[in-house]
Amino acid sequence: MSSEAIVLDPSSERARPGVLSSMRAHAVLIVVLGVLCGAAGYGASMLLPTSYTAQSSVFFSVTSPFDPMDEMGADATRFTADQVELIVTTEVLEPAGRRVVPPVPVEEVRASTSAVGSAETNRVTVSVERPTAEQARALADAITRSYAEAARQRVVEVTSRAQDAIADGFVEAEMLARSAAYFDGIRAIEPAVLPNAPSAPLRVQNALIAAAVGIAIAIGLAVLRDQRRARRPTIADFDMLLGAPLITRFARPSSSAVADVVRTDGSDLPAALDLLATIDVALDGRPRVSVLFVSWQETLTTTSLVATTGFAAAKAGREIVLIDGGMKERGISSLTDVDPGVGLEALADTANPIADSVRQWHVANTEVGVVPLSGWASRSGTGVPARPQVLRAAAERLHSVASLVLVDAPPLGELSVGLALGRGVDGVVLVVDADSSIDDAHEMGRRLALSGVTLLGYVLAVPPRRRTKVPWPRRAPESLDAGEWASRT
pLDDT value, residue 462: 92
Structure letter (DSSP) for residue 325? -
pLDDT interval class at 160 (50, 70, 90): confident
- pLDDT given at position 381: 55
pLDDT of residue 277: 92
> What are the start-end ranges of the E strands in 191-344?
246-251, 289-295, 320-324
Are 203 and 51 a contacting pair, CB within 8 Å?
A: no
SS3 58: strand
Confidence (pLDDT) at 94: 94
Does the structure show a pLDDT above 70 at 430?
Answer: yes
Distance CA 128, CA 54 (A): 5
Q: Decide if pLDDT at 392 tops 80.
A: yes
SS3 content of the chain, % helix, strand, coil (to 5): 50, 15, 35
Residue 58 CA to residue 66 CA, distance in Å, equals: 19
Q: What is the DSSP letter of 386?
A: P
- CA-CA distance, 203 to 189, in Å (whole number)? 33
Predicted local confidence at residue 111, as pLDDT: 93
Average pLDDT score over the chain:
81
Query: Which is more confident, 72 or 400?
Result: 400
Residues 186-203: tens digit of each pLDDT:
888 999 999 998 888 888
65 pLDDT band, cuts 50/70/90, is very low
Residue ranges per structural domain of the chain: 19-48+202-228, 52-193, 235-462
Q: Which amino acid, one-letter code, is at 189?
A: I
Distance (Å, whole) CA 459 – CA 79: 82
Amino acid at 276: L
- 235, 288, 309: which is closest to 457 by C-alpha? 235
Question: Which class for 293: exposed (0-12), middle (13-18), buried (19 or more C-beta within 10 A)?
Answer: buried
CB contact set of 44 (below 8 Å; sequence gap of 6+): 206, 210
Peptide bond into 201 cis (omega under 30): yes
Q: Look at residue 3 in the predicted model and tell me its pLDDT.
A: 40
CB distance 370 to 359 below 8 Å = yes
CA distance 233 to 397: 40
Q: Is 177 within 8 Å of 8 (Cβ atoms)? A: no
Query: How much is the average pLDDT of 347-360?
Result: 90
pLDDT of residue 173: 55
Q: How far apart are CA 63 and CA 376, in angstroms?
A: 101
Q: What is the pLDDT of residue 473?
A: 41
Mean pLDDT calculated for residue range 63-72 = 46
Dihedral sign (CA 61, 66, 71, 73): positive
Residue 170: predicted pLDDT: 57
Average pLDDT of the segment spanning 58-79:
59
In which band, very low, low, confident or very high, does the pLDDT at 182 lie, cut at 50, 70 and 90?
very low
**111-127 per-position pLDDT tens digit:** 999 999 886 778 899 99
- Count other C-beta atoms under 10 Å from residue 75's C-beta: 13
239, 245 Cβ separation under 8 angstroms: yes
Name 371's bridge partners.
Answer: 323
Q: How many CB atoms lie within 10 A of CB 123?
A: 18
User: What H or E segment, with its residue span, contains residue 114?
Assistant: strand 113-118
Q: What pLDDT, on a 0 to 100 scale, did the predictor assign at position 73?
A: 42
pLDDT of residue 210: 92
Higher pLDDT residue, 477 or 245? Answer: 245
Q: Which one is predicted more confidently, 121 or 305?
A: 305
CATH T-level topology, domain 235-462: Rossmann fold (3.40.50)
Q: Give the domain 52-193 fold.
A: Alpha-Beta Plaits (3.30.70)
The pLDDT tens digits for 197-222 are 888 888 888 899 999 999 999 888 88
Backbone phi and psi for residue 5, each to the nearest 5 degrees, phi listed first: -60, 150
Measured distance CA(87)–CA(429) in Å, rounded: 83
Cβ-based burial of 368 (10 A; exposed 0-12, middle 13-18, buried ≥19): buried
pLDDT value at 308 more than 80:
yes
Burial class (CB within 10 angstroms; exposed 0-12, middle 13-18, buried 19+) of 157 = exposed
DSSP summary character for residue 374: B
Check: CB of residue 58 under 8 Å from CB of residue 186: yes
Give the DSSP letter of residue 6: -
pLDDT at residue 403 greater than cutoff 60: yes
Residue 151 or 138, more confident: 138
Q: Is the pLDDT of residue 382 over 60?
A: yes
Quick one: pLDDT at residue 228?
67
